[in-house]
Amino acid sequence: MSLISKFENETRAVLELLKTYGDSLLDKNLVKKLATGRLKKEDIAFRLIPAFTLEVIRRYLRVETEGMEHVPKTGGGIIISNHSGYAGFDALMIRNEVERAIDRRAHLLAHKLWFFGKPVRVVSEKMGLVEADINESLKILRRDDLLILFPEGEAGNFKPTNRRYRLQEFKRGFIRLAMITGKPIIPSMVIGAEETHINLSQIQFTKYLIGSVIPLPLNVLPLPVKWKIKFLPPITTDHFSPADAMNREKVRKMSLEIRRHLQREIVAELRRRENIQEDYLSDVKFNAEDEPGL
């Protein structure tokens, strides 16, 4: 069966699910508007279509979730994860799984390109994306909301597939956010996303645009690799003070510890999968234990 045929089949299946179980796939307010014919164009464009599309992708990728009990049902928290696949499906799917499971809105910190120009910014904000800005992030956490971010940034999202599951250097802003607010950090991982989109290489434009990296993807339509999203026990930070966020050594040490911990957990999860070469896992493990900077 071709990838397009598989997508078509899953789309038809989700349409049937929406007819029968729409109230369990969509939030209650949206279902009420759908039933009474009071849906606005904005609801269709930014809520109904995204919810429908994510459900199709979820079924297509056979997403399995574990450890949702570690995500706080009340209060703020910072969910972090490995990042890959260039298309950002992992970010959207993590948020979707959180919102499905515990019925909480999670704010997704997005790449600056999602806010380039007013038209793009308006669409991104309507879809619940938040520009990576420390002041905006602090507002979200102080409202006791959930924040999802990827410490690797574009270095992880756009890395070549031959470096899959190797965590790149963490940006440390999430540590400072946690120390200032005392909110827990919930590490998570996505297994499968690193093989969904094949990225051959990346082009860096740092000489012209600081921090700009462009991927060189092999495929646009995602490959049907089974996904597993796993949430790990939260790391408490309420014993830190805002002053600790200004201590570069404390911030650096905590960031490296979390990166090493998450890399080990990723390797352990990969060992449970079939068709993973042991020599590749050994190389990833070496990266976690001995790479300078870790």
Residues 91 and 127 in one domain: yes
Q: Give the confidence band of 80 by pLDDT, cuts at 50, 70, 90.
A: very high
* Residue finishing a domain among 60, 77, 101: 60
End-to-end CA distance of the chain: 43
Length of the chain: 294
CATH number of the domain encompassing residue 89: 3.40.1130
pTM listed for this prediction = 0.82
Asked if 43 and 30 count as a contact pair (C-beta separation under 8 A), the reply is: yes
Crossing angle of helices 248-271/278-290, nearest 10°? 170
The Cα–Cα gap between 69 and 88 comes to 24
Looking at the 3D structure of the chain, how many domains does it have? 2
Residues 137 and 273 in one domain: yes
Residues 154 and 238 in one domain: yes
pLDDT value, residue 293: 42
Residue pLDDT, tens place only, 191-217: 999 888 888 887 776 555 545 677 787
Residues 67 and 28 in one domain: no
Over the chain, what is the mean pLDDT?
A: 81
Largest CA distance in the chain: 60
Residues 50 and 127 in one domain: no
Residues 80 and 176 in one domain: yes
pLDDT of 7 strictly over 60: no
Residues 198 and 263 in one domain: yes
Residue pLDDT, tens place only, 213-231: 777 878 888 888 999 999 9
As a whole-number percent, the residues of the chain with pLDDT over 70 amount to: 73
Helices (H), 37-87: 41-43, 49-60
Report the range of poorest mean pLDDT among 19-23, 141-145, 185-189, 269-273. 19-23
* Residue finishing a domain among 60, 93, 110: 60
pLDDT of 164 strictly over 70: yes
* Of the ranges 118-127, 154-163, 232-241, 270-279, the best mean pLDDT one: 232-241
Mean pLDDT of 4-21: 56
Q: How far is CA 149 from CA 10, 37, 146, 172, 251, in A?
A: 29, 36, 10, 11, 17
Domain of 22, in residue numbers: 1-60
